[in-house]
Amino acid sequence: MSRLLVLACVLVTSAAHAASPDTLAEQANRMLDDGDLGGAQAKLEEAISDTRDNAAANAAMGRLKLMRGDLAGAMTSASVALGKDKKNVAALMVFVRVQALNEVPDAAVAKLTELSNQFGTDVGVLLATGEALLAAKKWPDAVAMATRVLKLQETSVAAMKQLARAYLGLERPVTAESVLQRALELERDPEALALLAGIKYGDNLLADARVLLEEAVRAKPGFVEGLNALGAIYISVQNYEAANDVLQRAIALAPTFAEAWLDIGSAQRGAGRFEQAEASWKKVLVMAPKLPDPQFNLGVMYLENPIGSRDRIQQLTDAINAFNAYKKAGGTDPETDKYIDEAKLLIKQESERRTEELKGGGK
């Protein structure tokens, strides 16, 4: 056989075994679950270069961009996927999440309600509609939608998770816990584990919550929200180094995840790294300028922790400014005004002390 003929046979064989865009998208989604964003991107670029409008590949690309904080890019990819398949569940979920992060969840509700009316027995569409209702905090409607799915598929863990979240929104944690226990009997789903951990945390069962979250992130290393929740547990028990380690894993996967940076700041403050905490919380203010929590955290730290050689009066003034910014952003912690008054008193005392020092130095 000639060398050219051998080469031709190799090319034909390779082409026959080349992965389809759908297969590549499936592989990429597994990589995203495992936290391998670079590998997922390579798979998706290969898939999209083959068929640019493939729904599965573009939906997965939207998920990847969403994890990286590229909301506009995520919406573009989801739109391409939905242009090819308007019932693509993964793309619909990306669409809902982007609209929620853009603070227009009702736009997602309108679109998904129309789809669910059109495709009333399509479980994927109904689940995406439930996600939109949850994002819009329409708790009773979300309960109804999850129940509707369970009538079609009584063992749907995804519907059970949505039902539990809706009950949590309605402040019915006991009912939510019962639903989650049933879901976990069917499947040790990482999100279900994290939801149950949240209930345990609310009951101050920190050890139980930690065990559940550790199982969740072992099963799904790319579970950013689970990593962040585990970091928060470690902060609660003052294991600040463990908290920092797990939270660094979260931001490595999602560098613009503001909640993780907020918690990293708390871990850094707990460990006495005040300047690093300040930088982390200021980063949150850039990422999520409407979030009041970092201002409150900065105010407390400026009030309670002298930072390096920083002027004390200036730092206390910064504390007052941070607390006022917190209130302006909608913060409602009842201790805020007390902290402001304390900072003002300390400024007065420090000013008087400096005045006395000047008097003494002049004698």
**Do residues 229 and 262 lie in contact, with contact meaning Cβ atoms separated by under 8 Å?**
no
Q: Identify the sign of the CA torsion 203, 204, 207, 210.
A: positive
User: Closest by alpha carbon to 253, among 36, 15, 3?
Assistant: 36
Given the structure tokens 């995203």, which residue do they identify?
A: 32
Closest-CA residue to 35 (of 229, 194, 244, 248): 248
Helix axes 123-135, 157-169, angle to 10 degrees: 20
Q: CATH classification of 35-103 is 3.30.499.10, yes or no?
A: no
DSSP structure class, residue 204 = T
Output the pTM of the full model.
Answer: 0.84
CB atoms within 10 A of CB 280: 24
Which of 237, 213, 234, 239 has the alpha carbon at shortest distance from 225?
213
pLDDT at 18: 60
CA distances from 131 to 55, 98, 128, 142 (A): 20, 12, 5, 8
State residue 141's pLDDT score: 97
What tokens were used for 34? 């495992």
Residue 359's pLDDT is 84
Domain boundaries, the chain: 35-103
Contact assessment for residue 291 and residue 267, using Cβ atoms and an 8 Å cutoff: no
Answer yes or no: are the C-beta atoms of 60 and 80 closer than 8 Å: no
Q: What is the pLDDT of residue 1?
A: 47
CA angle 64, 67, 68 (to 5 degrees): 90
C-alpha to C-alpha distance for 135 and 102, rounded to whole angstroms: 11
- Counting as low any pLDDT under 70, the low residues of the chain are 1-18, 361-363
Neighbours of 201 (CB within 10 A): 19
Could you read off the pLDDT of 86-108 as tens digits, one per residue? 999 999 999 999 999 898 999 99
Rounded-to-integer distance, Cα 363 and Cα 358, Å:
9
pLDDT, residue 361, reads: 65
Nearest one of 160, 217, 208 to 190, comparing CA atoms: 217
